[in-house]
Amino acid sequence: MFLTGFAALAVMPLLPVAARDLDGVGLYPLVAGAFVAASLLGGVLGGAWADLGGARRPLTAGLVLTVVTLLVSATSTTIWQLVLGRFTDGIAAGLVAVSVNAAIGQSYPDHLRARALSLMSACWIVPSLAGPPLAGFVAASWSWRVVFFGVAGFTLIPAAAAVLLLRQQPGQPGASQGPGSPEASVRRPALPATVAVSVAAALTQYGVSAFNAWHAVCASVGVVLLVAFAPKLLPPHTWRAGGGLPATVLLRALTSGAFFTLEAFVPLMLSTARHVPGVVTGFAFTGAALAWAGASWVQGRLQNRVPRHRLVAIGAAIMAAAVAVAALCTIPAVPPAAAVSSMAMAAVGMGLATPSLTLLSLAHTPADRQGYASGAMQTSQSLGQTLVLAVTSALFTAVSAASTSRLPAFAGAYALLILPIAGAACLAGRTRVADAGHHDASGSSVATAEEQLR
């Protein structure tokens, strides 16, 4: 997870430089969107694989694929090769993220899961501090390709360790896969539906990057494919916020979509409308990473003190306050530093909500299907990012075209983000785990989870 964070925070700032160097600035939205779209595919595949054979093999495959795909990107001679590299990197990231969550669910007792997840969040602290400036220095001194090669070299070490050490042993999860084993009945999403949703996510993100006939067609096709195939990858009744796992999956989409859209628009506002130095924007990302890790540490210490669904509601409320602060910064008299604090505030909310939702998804799921649940959460997160960012970007582009100033467009975008956050706060109660019978021998809660998955 440490190397995943370092790769993300070191590589992402260099993608515009790589696109310009490869004469592909016009396709930059596709370069940026390919990663998120492919993580959908990687998450679903990794979840099904983890249920069938344990989390070891998809984790190993994800680490090895990460090394390969970084080399593909580093050696890019065309913008399309870079797109391919980012797409395969998204698959690898989906495999790793889902495998880590499934491994925590399969290997750790309930009272240690919260701390394990907070440790995963802490792995992003050092990358947030060192990744962007180090990558910028290397790119300025040598080339952006050296950054890709360097991250691939660092990732090669745990990839080799995974291949050598994380071998399936008798008696481990997934060792028995006969016709009568629990793993044999795991629901596996259809591969064509998964591929269709990944392509649809990429088309939607590319389509909202400009207003013309071609982009409109791409966006329309993407939305149609999402509506048709996305429900096949999620638990039944997700869009209706059915109690238990469906509501938990939906709230991951709402909170993640709102946060990562805010994270995209605040730096854009600071650099284009408020004209602050780039170092200030860098502090915003660093502060957000530290705030997220700190809040995640806090939720890990609140085990058995505060119900998880209440932490989700509290996190959503903090995010709503953060969006309000960002909206205030569209008023010229408000200092731009307030916008920087809005990202840190939103990260506090996510640090409380995201691990809590992951723990709730594991609590609502029988042991032999926690890989599926983790895959559904990853899919929901990617879909939420895609859809919320697409709708907000469309509104932002429309208001910008009708106004001489971009500040009203930013105000409209922030106002729109209140909707998914408010929805998450209102629906948090539907994710709760019943106090009675959850740990009893009757298995009633497991039976409920089985029904939801069916």
Question: Is the predicted pLDDT of residue 40 greater than 60, yes or no?
Answer: yes
Instruction: Tell me whether domains 1-188 and 236-454 share a fold.
Output: yes
For residue 180, pLDDT beyond 70: no
Q: pLDDT class for 109, splitting at 50, 70, 90? A: confident
Summarize the confidence of residues 350-372 as an average pLDDT: 83
Write down the H helix ranges in 208-275: 213-229, 245-272
Lowest mean pLDDT among 65-74, 165-174, 313-322: 165-174
Class of the CATH-defined domain 1-188: mainly alpha
Q: Residue 444 has which token pair? A: 């009633």
More confident residue, 366 or 314: 314
Burial 224-234 (b: 16+ CB within 10 A, else e): ebbeebbeebb
User: What pLDDT sits at residue 189?
Assistant: 54
CATH 1.20.1250.20 fits 236-454, yes or no: yes
Specify burial of residue 187 (Cβ count, 10 A radius: 0-12, 13-18, 19+). exposed
| Domain residue spans of the chain | 1-188, 236-454
More confident residue, 261 or 13: 261
Cβ–Cβ under 8 Å, residues 399 and 409: yes
Tokens 């090769």 — which residue?
A: 81
Which of 74-83, 380-389, 390-399 ranks highest by mean pLDDT? 74-83
Report which listed range, 19-33, 103-117, 344-358, 436-450, is most confident. 344-358
**Whole-number pLDDT of residue 253:** 92
315 has a pLDDT exceeding 90:
yes
Distance CA 173, CA 398 (A): 51
Is the pLDDT reported for residue 440 higher than 50? no
Please provide the average confidence, as pLDDT, over all residues in the chain: 78
Euclidean distance between CA atoms 128 and 140, whole angstroms? 19
Residue 443 has pLDDT above 70, yes or no: no
Q: Is the pLDDT of residue 449 over 60?
A: no
* Residue 179 predicted with pLDDT over 60: no
The pLDDT > 70 percentage for the chain reads 84
Alpha carbon separation from 35 to 9, 88, 206 (Å, rounded): 13, 8, 12
Pick the residue with more confidence: 318 or 113? Answer: 318
Task: Count the residues in the chain.
Answer: 454
Instruction: Give the pLDDT of residue 416.
Output: 93
Is 152 strand, coil or helix? helix
CA dist 142 and 391 (Å) reads 38
Do residues 216 and 207 touch, judged by C-beta distance below 8 A?
yes
pLDDT digits (tens, 9 = 90+) for 44-64: 788 778 777 777 888 888 888
Six token digits for residue 389: 């960012």
* Structure token pair of residue 449: 């989870």
> What pTM does this model have?
0.72
